[in-house]
Structure formats: C-alpha cells, structure tokens
Amino acid sequence: MFDIKAIMASYGFHIIGEVNYNTENCQRFRSVHKPHGEKDLFLFLHGDRGATFGDWHDPSNWPTWWNKSNKLTINDLKDRIEYLEEVKIRKNEMRLIAIERAFNFWEANYVSHYIDQNPYALKKRINTYYARGINHYRYIRDILLIPIADIDMQFKSVQIIKANGFKRLWKGTSQKGNMIWLSEKLENDYSGSIRICEGYATGCSIYEAIGDPVVCAINASNLVNVAVQLRAKFVNAKLKICADNDQWGKENVGLKYGKEALMRTGATLHYPDFSGVDISTQPTDFNDLMCLTNIEAVENQLILIRK
C-alpha cells in the first residue's frame, strides 16, 4: 500500500493523524502548520489506485494522485476515467454547498450603524462600497464582508476582512475567475470605462477618485482571468488595468500580471508612482498612494497611461 501521508506532503499538505485506508469517505485532518486549528485538509482515497486531497480553502488546488506502480488494464483505465468524473462531480457539489452557506451568511449579516467606522476602513481611509458588517458580536466583531461574484454578478463567495487586514474567502469557495464589483449591473453594450485592480481597499480608493465602475480581481494572479472575461463580455468597454507596483520584491508581480492583462485584452495600463512621498512603508497600490497623499493624487495618476 502506498504512503499517502508522504505523497500529500510532497504536494505541500502535511497532515496530523493516521489515515484509514479502508474507506473512500472523506477524511479530515489538521495541518502540522496549524496543529490547533481547524481540520482544513481533506482526503478521498480511490482504493489502491490513488487519492484526491487538498485544503478546503483552495478548491483550485485539489490534486488527484494516481498509483502508477500498478499495471493498468483497459478496465483499470476505464475505472480511472470514471473516478475522475466522480471526483469532478464531488468537487462541484462541495463548492455549490459552500457557496450556498456563504450566501446565507452574507444575507444574515449586516449592521445598522455606519460601517465606514470599521477599523480597517478607517486605517485604509476608504468608504466601504457594497460591503456589509457583522450584526452580532459574540465571537467576531469589526469584520467587513465583501461579496464575490462572477462575470454575470452572480454571488460566488464572501471575502472576510478583519480589522488587522487579514483576509480570507469563505471556506470551500474559489476566487479563480471571480471578482468584486464596485458597480451596479452593466449592460452588455456598455461603452464606458471599467477599471480593474487587485484588492478591495485599492478598488474603493479608485472608485472614490474616478467614479467609473471598478472590478477587483482579489489578487494579482487572478487579474488576467478577470480582464479576459470582461473583454469578452463588454467588447465596447474601455478596460483600464490599475496594477499594483510591487517594486520592493524580487519580482514586480503586480506589473507582471498587469502587463499580461494588457497584452491579452488591449487595455491601458496604470500604476502608482511614489516619487516624492515617504516610502518607508514600502507602498505598492493606489490605496497606499491615497493614504500617503490625498484622493486628488490618485485621480491625477489614474489619468496617466504607463507602459
């Protein structure tokens, strides 16, 4: 029998506890990196033929490993194809359940007081467009809830932002190809500007400064997916990529994906320049620019087209 714990570890999933090799039901485990946390890691065994596993938080990275040491007959290959289809169906069912739970949580939570007084909003100096707060304080407080939707503005998840800036999506949902809309629903023949950025606070600052619809891709790696979808649906729109300027790392990831989105969609590229301001905090995005200067500086730089 193969050592599935070692195989999972080779993919970056280090589990605590023993595996039951006599069941194909879902098994849940804590990670060695979070020994006192929740059982976020899961495992489905496919008999002695392989396994599917991963982290509930990231459905885009649920690998299926097959035992290549077994010699496969035609029937084995047929079974494998059937297993893959079954795994695909299981993943989709679990994701739909997670989306429903996220939607129920979103619908149940709101606050009557002014949520722009949220500590995260005050720190980022933003108006909390399209966000909600928590309507009870028994075990969580000062939380912002941000709706995640697809290209058709259909609800897909909720992003939870704590006062200290920690962010996470609802467990079991995915951000891949999804986005945060700072806009009312647009007609397919919309011909105005749509600005695409990464994070929610950055999007709020851009929306405040310029007024046109803003779509937040959530992170840099999703920027291209979102831009390509927007170009396909809104063929007449003027897409403007408002990238992060990650100049402090080994690689400027924000500009890397921003330029890729530019090449794929024919958009224009915009990113903040921090010349003449205090850069001790290593600022990267338009929200950082606004916090260091003012909303007028953001507006002035958003007009500039960069290469």
Q: Which domains does the chain show, CATH number per domain?
A: 4-103 (no CATH), 112-303 (3.40.1360.10)
Task: Mark out the alpha helices in the chain (DSSP H runs).
Answer: 4-10, 74-108, 119-124, 200-210, 223-233, 253-265, 286-292, 295-303
Give the burial class of 231: count Cβ atoms within 10 A of its Cβ; 0-12 exposed, 13-18 middle, 19 or more buried: middle
As a dihedral over the C-alpha atoms of residue 152, residue 156, residue 161, residue 165, rounded to 10 degrees, the angle is -70
Instruction: Reply yes or no on whether the pLDDT at 269 is more than 70.
Output: yes
Give the whole-number percent of the chain exceeding pLDDT 70.
91
Q: Give the model's pLDDT for residue 200.
A: 97
Note the pLDDT tens digit of each residue in 119-164: 899 999 999 999 988 766 555 678 899 999 999 999 999 999 988 8
How far CA 26 is from CA of 23, 123, 170, in Å, comes to: 8, 42, 20
Instruction: Reply yes or no on whether the pLDDT at 203 is more than 70.
Output: yes
pLDDT band at 249 (very low <50, low <70, confident <90, very high): confident
Mean pLDDT along residues 173-201: 94
Instruction: Reply yes or no on whether the pLDDT at 57 is more than 90.
Output: no
How far CA 60 is from CA of 56, 57, 184, in Å, comes to: 10, 9, 28
Mean pLDDT along residues 37-51: 86
Q: Give the model's pLDDT for residue 25.
A: 84
Higher-pLDDT residue of 74 and 272 is 272
Q: Give the model's pLDDT for residue 78.
A: 64
The dihedrals phi and psi of 254, each to the nearest 5 degrees, come to -60, -45
| pTM, rounded to two decimals | 0.73
Residue 232 near residue 263 (C-beta atoms within 8 A): no
Note the pLDDT tens digit of each residue in 63-119: 888 887 655 555 666 666 776 777 777 778 888 898 999 999 898 877 656 677 888
How far CA 63 is from CA of 2, 12, 70, 140, in Å, comes to: 16, 11, 19, 33
